[in-house]
Amino acid sequence: MSAFALERRGGVAIVSFDTPNEPVNKISKAVGWELEELLGRLILDEPVKAIVLRSGKRDTFIAGADIEEFVQLRSVEEAVRLSRDGQLLMQKFADSPKPIVVAIHGACLGGGLELALACQYRVASDHPKTQLGLPETQLGLLPGAGGSNRLPRLIGLRAALDIILAGKSERAKKALKIGLVDEVVPEAILLETAIAAAERLARGWRAPRPGRGVAGVLLDHNPIGRTVVFRKAEATVLQKTGGHYPAPLRALEVIRTSLDRGMKRGLEAEAQAFGELAMTDVSRRLVEIFFATTALKKDDGVPSGSGRPRVVRRLAVIGSGFMGAGIAGTAVLNADVEVRMKDADLARVGKGLKAATDILRARMRRRRLTTYEFTRKSALLSGTGDFSGFAGAEIAIEAVFEELSVKRQVMAELEAAVPTDMVLATNTSTIPIHDIAVGARHPERILGMHFFSPVEKMPLLEVIPTSMTSADAIVTAVQFGRAMGKTVIVVGDAPGFWVNRILSPYLNEAGFLLEEGVPIEVIDKAMTDWGFPVGPIALLDEVGLDVGEKAGKVMHQAFGDRLAPSKVIAVMRGDDRLGRKNGRGFYFYKDGHKTGPDGSIFQLLGVRPAGEVDVARVQERLIYAMLNESAMAMSEGVVRQPRDGDIGAIFGIGFPPFRGGPLRTLDAFGAAETVAKLERLEAAHGHRFRVAPVLEEMARTGGRWYPADGR
């Protein structure tokens, strides 16, 4: 069945792209051949004077090249060829003697945007779903169908680098501003506008191009200015990626070649770089992450069809502190539901409502929300000092103080006040949900929803059913979490669940290193060099030492001496240090900004900071503590499959994406090598490094977490 339908309006041929039985349009090899053949026919078709290309899909224009095909690539040469084929296809569009106008509604990404760039005129709908971008670097690649060459020529060097290096997308309005599209119109008149433009172009009209401005002339079009831009961009890339991601650096090289030596050389460099990047482990890991997150969008955490989700229109939130307000604001922002917030007194409720509204306001300031949408969404928030207005909600999330007795009491009050079919979720980071649900009248509707802080920014949500939770409740919570914009993993009801479980020995180990006098900045830099966004000590300051202390105790109690916390946090707490929140932590803070490490911890501990430190040893201890715990938790079934564990670690604690997550890392290190390393660590540092039995087993049998080849 063809992916393209043809319709004629006078001299304009309207091509609708709609791949049968696929949710989005992708430019696969087969689609490319068909498109090329169709274009050839239209060029020879005398009555056709111009062409309009649109999508037949509801909310995507074209999602890019077919990423599935990248997974099949086996050599650099093969990948170079794929890129060359893409470039040649786009060139046919660019060389068309008949003008081609693209009518863009929905996602126009990667190869989709490269196709649009090769056409003569671009009209986009002003719908929020319309996003134009080149996300290739996020897959460890670069735009390989001419985009690295065409974008800087169309919108200027600096604007192009901004998009390509970060792999980001722009909405239609911004796309118009930077000259990426020629017109933006409401969706209702998109096609008509594109046809009118096609007719004008066919009559010889030339689209006006925006001027470049003084900075454009000096920096984008002048070799000396360009050198400055490239140098600055390279420094920024290195600072942001720590040199772990080769794609943005290769993209810089290609763009430079293209602008300095011409498009022909530029295209050759582009295909070569694409081919080499496609074969890197980094790209493989990032592509796997794309497929894992996509698969999670469809995974409700129960066998397919076994749970009936409740459609959530109203959310009740108990507790209007930092977490409660974050949950409320994010729910209104992304899920567009009414939120009723309750706390013990109205003054606190007022504060919570303000904090939730501030989340919306921040979006409006960043132009991600219109004033109208801000006002409308703000009106969805309301508060109460009792349970009034709760009965209409489909789901309630409590986010009160992290104390079992308090949480139990809140659940009991909730159960007494709301209808029996409402799903009741508790937001906790460590307390087993079973302990909260036990004794409830309807434990089948109780589960955990572990949000990460700050809720509006952190992408992960752990949903934690107990053995008593119904499938209906699980599906409702998972789907609602997704509507809130979260990547959701369903995890076992074990202390710390997944993320805090694997984090716990890692943070403890950082404490032991401090006890030995290893300087704060050495520990943190060791881990940022390894690829984490922040080091473990800085993370403790962010999380809060009170929270860390409480979590440490729960884990110690649950897992015994193996997870006994270092004494560092208790010492810090004894000196009234809470981390960033009270401006007193392992680091100094000024006006909320971290200024530098506070070495006085060593006086408190009574140790002398070490002079020479072997950084590789520091990395080893921290990493293997986390990897070993990941293996242990996996073998206990805390997550259902390695995919969830890796995505949880990447999205929950910033485990370096280019390494693919702790379980992928274990596979890369190899079970036998990992066991040998852990045995050495155990001999040196004690039984907290005792090898997870599952790893010993894997070392014996040559086992892995993932199949050796494939996903």
Of residues 486, 83, 499, the one with CA closest to residue 283: 83
* Catalytic hit among 462, 509, 542, 629: 462
75 CB-contact burial (10 Å; exposed 0-12 / middle 13-18 / buried 19+): exposed
Binding-site member from 100, 109, 191, 666 for ligand 3HC (CB under 6 A):
109
The pairing of beta strand 183-185 with beta strand 169-171? unpaired
**Are 137 and 287 in contact, with CB atoms under 8 Å apart?**
no
For residues 355 and 373, give the distance between their C-alpha atoms in angstroms, rounded to a whole number.
17
Measured CA angle at 303 (ends 301, 307), to 5 deg: 80
**Binding segment for ligand 3HC among 110-118, 521-529, 663-671, 675-683 (CB under 6 A)?**
110-118
Residues 678-697 within binding reach of ligand 3HC (CB under 6 A): none
Query: Please, which residue, 254 or 545, has the CB nearer to ligand 3HC?
Result: 254
- Count how many residues are written for the chain: 711
Query: Please, which residue, 143 or 319, has the CB nearer to ligand 3HC?
Result: 143
Query: Please, which residue, 117 or 543, has the CB nearer to ligand 3HC?
Result: 117
CB closest to ligand 3HC, residue no: 110
Query: Please, which residue, 144 or 579, has the CB nearer to ligand 3HC?
Result: 144
> Prior bond to 454 cis, omega within 30?
yes
Residues 137-176 within binding reach of ligand 3HC (CB under 6 A): 139, 143-145, 147
The DSSP secondary structure of 575-627, one letter per residue, reads: TT--BGGGTBSSEEEETTEEEEE-TTHHHHHT-PPPSS--HHHHHHHHHHHHH
Place of tokens 């909310």: 59
Query: Positive or negative, the Cα torsion across 465, 470, 475, 480?
Result: negative
Smallest distance, ligand 3HC to C-beta of residue 700, A = 36
Per CB under 6 A, does 288 bind ligand 3HC? no
3 state SS of 639 = strand
Per CB under 6 A, does 219 bind ligand 3HC? no
**Binding segment for ligand 3HC among 20-28, 336-344, 492-500, 666-674 (CB under 6 A)?**
20-28
Query: Please, which residue, 86 or 492, has the CB nearer to ligand 3HC?
Result: 86
Per CB under 6 A, does 599 bind ligand 3HC? no
Binding mask 49-78 for ligand 3HC (x = CB under 6 A): -----------x--xxxxxx----------
Measure the CA dihedral 435/436/438/440, to 10°: 180
Per CB under 6 A, does 247 bind ligand 3HC? no
The pairing of beta strand 381-384 with beta strand 338-342? parallel
Binding-site member from 21, 74, 97, 297 for ligand 3HC (CB under 6 A):
297
5's enclosing H/E stretch is strand 4-9
Query: Please, which residue, 288 or 542, has the CB nearer to ligand 3HC?
Result: 288
Instruction: Reply yes or no on whether 509 is catalytic.
Output: no
Query: Please, which residue, 111 or 505, has the CB nearer to ligand 3HC?
Result: 111
For residues 396 and 409, give the distance between their C-alpha atoms in angstroms, rounded to a whole number.
15
Per CB under 6 A, does 443 bind ligand 3HC? no
Per CB under 6 A, does 357 bind ligand 3HC? no
**Binding segment for ligand 3HC among 11-19, 109-117, 447-455, 541-549 (CB under 6 A)?**
109-117
Active site residues: 462
Residue ranges in contact with ligand 3HC by CB under 6 A: 23-24, 26, 60, 63-68, 86, 107, 109-111, 114, 135-136, 139, 143-145, 147, 294, 297
